[in-house]
Chains A and B, each alone.
Chain A
Amino acid sequence: MPEVTKKIREIARSLLQEKKVDLVIGFEQGTLPLRATPCFVRGEKEVDRLVWDSFCENNLATYLIKRAERVAIIAKGCDVRTIVELIKENQISRDQVVIIGIPCQGMFDRRQVEAVLQGKEIQEVTEKDGQLILRGGSFKETLKRDTFLYPSCITCTHRNPVIYDLLVGDPVPELSTDPYQDVEEFEARSAEERWEYLIKEFTRCIRCYACRNACPLCYCQECFVDSSSPPWIGKTTDESDTAIFHLMRAFHVAGRCTECGACERACPVGVDIRKLNRKLARDVKERFGYESGVSLEQVTPLATFKPDDPEEFMVNP
């Protein structure tokens, strides 16, 4: 059993035993190869369901909202950033949550792996020394973990949890690559090219709202797309309606999005949702020196103002 899994179980057991929490939210083995699935543990007997592997892709922070129980949560670097934002936005209270932080080396992109296998059925998956060994009836495939990470894991800037109550596993080196290289490339294109790209992506959208629902920061009691009176937005899958949905959502999470990538991993049709989110995140970083979810103290820029804020966007009278 991997060391991290063992430690998670030990911690969960003692937290429940000592009645420090009512619930531990973590991951258990999924029902398909390359999948782990969220798991809710309330009793000591259930603790051995908990696992940790390269498929723990969900951002569990989404389950913290509107919960009365005292909760311990397994959290990767990005998940912790989301928890920080949720605390700052008064959606959860810090003393209600025990953060079991895990330095994360990125999660495997199951869809990329499946594309390589071209329908060959996986029967057994083992992880060893940064490699993923897949075995099926008539094949064995060894994949390097770093080449099959989710795009959000490749641009991750905080693999190590920024706050935690307990840390499981050794800290990992942060990535040194420029996280916004793709955004810079996107910005360099002409307005027409950018629009063409985004529209092509949005056109694939089927309005299932998996992106919104997987996003822990999309917690509005009534989402603007769900309002029928007034209907803020058309409900069809026409280009204009899907574009408005994505544009509005991007603005709603601007300066708050922690770039965890949960939206994109949840999307069944592969829409590049993060492009806009990351463009806005970069703008917020450049303009306000603010990076979401990395400090409990720093004030969220779009939730405050200063009398001398630059207002170059205002039209002079």
Chain B
Amino acid sequence: MKTKTIKKKDIASFLDTLLTRYEVFAPVERDERVVFEAIGAGSEATLDYQNTTMPPKGILFPQTEQLFSYRSTKDTADIAVPSFKEKPQLIFGIRPCDARSFLLFDHAFDGDPYYINRRGNTLLVSIGCTHPQAPCFCTSVGGGPFSEEGSDLLLIETGDQYLIQIVTDRGAQLLEESGFKDAGKDALTLAQKMIKTAEASMGAGIEIDGLKEKLDSSFENPIWQELTEKCLGCGVCTYLCPTCHCFDMVDEAEGSTGERIRIWDSCQFPLFTLQASGVNPRPTVKERFRQRIMHKFSYMIESYNQIGCVGCGRCITECPVNLDIRQVVHTISKLEALS
């Protein structure tokens, strides 16, 4: 695998070069928080952050997106589909867990022109996690603090420079004419050391082996009542989740004109499964929370042969009542089979 190096102080000018060809999204500080935003200059980006509260999923799957607008007259209806942005875009400084999450999106949005166009037009330059945090458990779900899966380039912090791991051809093209030096032996050794240290600092995480079978056989287990008793039923876990991708569509009409909008939806909301008859097959937080766990650790494995969780830990950090997905999964995996 080819590797290059870039000095930390040269990141801003590298971004400036990329900005001539790409719309660049990067972590920036806004009101004492770090968020992914389109930047106008390389100096706006900060790579000195843990992770953003909001995942960058909205860049490829906006929370609110117009699918089409219409204008009807007596005999005709004109439908206008928004044009796709032609300028290629790049997400710089995305964490490896979030970069991996788009591989799941690729399955979920298979055949969706809105997503596919944007996705094909987007490059991912990720930055490995030198200091994984307490809620992180990426290594339990097939990832790692320096996983390159889903990324085009991966940056690894080594002192005053980053080692750039070239993952894809598209990634390699980003570095053409950059003049960055090939990584020397010292840089490679140091990078290996950083990776080992970070991986060793990860917490116990969750046990995946046999979990799907346990979940499938525990659907009616009364433990779900106990596990979800404190759940408030809000949408924090789903909206902050980089892999949650459920959506709703609403029509906003005014007279003879209107638009169809796609918006994020959450399986934690009562409206999600409310049927026209008034029946709700998931009437309480128990059924809704169980759905979230089943979807990630059973249904997505069935559908895509992939775990539907990248272990970013956002749902753990931001859950208002500290309902910890790791604890839930642990309890389920330790259940004796119901006789």
Contact = CB atoms under 8 A, between A and B. Distances in A.
A266 B320 contact: yes
A220 to B, nearest CB: 12
Contact of A208 (B133, B134, B266, B316): B266
Which residue, A32, A212, A265, has most C-beta atoms of chain B within 10 A?
A: A32
Contacts, number: 107
A31 B234 contact: no
A83 to B, nearest CB: 17
Nearest to B252: A234
Interface residues of A, number: 40
Given A31-B327, A37-B230, A62-B232, A206 B239 contact: yes
Nearest to B33: A270
A235 B250 contact: yes
Contacts of A115: 32
Interface string A255-293: 000000010011011100000000000000000000000
B31 interface: yes
Given A31-B327, A119-B50, A208 B239 contact: yes
Given A31-B327, A206-B239, A208-B235, A235 B263 contact: yes
Given A268-B53, A269-B54, A210 B320 contact: yes
Given A31-B322, A115-B32, A208 B236 contact: yes
A262 B266 CA distance: 21
Given A206-B63, A235-B250, 6 more contacts: A31-B316, A40-B226, A40-B230, A208-B240, A235-B261, A266-B320
14 contacts: A37-B323, A40-B229, A207-B63, A207-B235, A207-B239, A208-B266, A210-B236, A214-B320, A226-B270, A228-B271, A236-B64, A265-B320, A268-B236, A269-B53
Q: 7 nearest interchain CB pairs? A: A266-B320, A37-B322, A208-B235, A210-B234, A213-B234, A236-B64, A213-B232
Interface of B: 31-33, 49-50, 53-54, 63-64, 131, 133-135, 226, 229-230, 232-236, 238-240, 248, 250, 252, 261, 263, 266, 269-271, 274, 316-318, 320-324, 326-327
Interface of A: 30-33, 35-40, 58, 62-63, 115, 119, 121-122, 204, 206-210, 212-214, 226, 228, 231, 234-238, 262, 265-266, 268-270
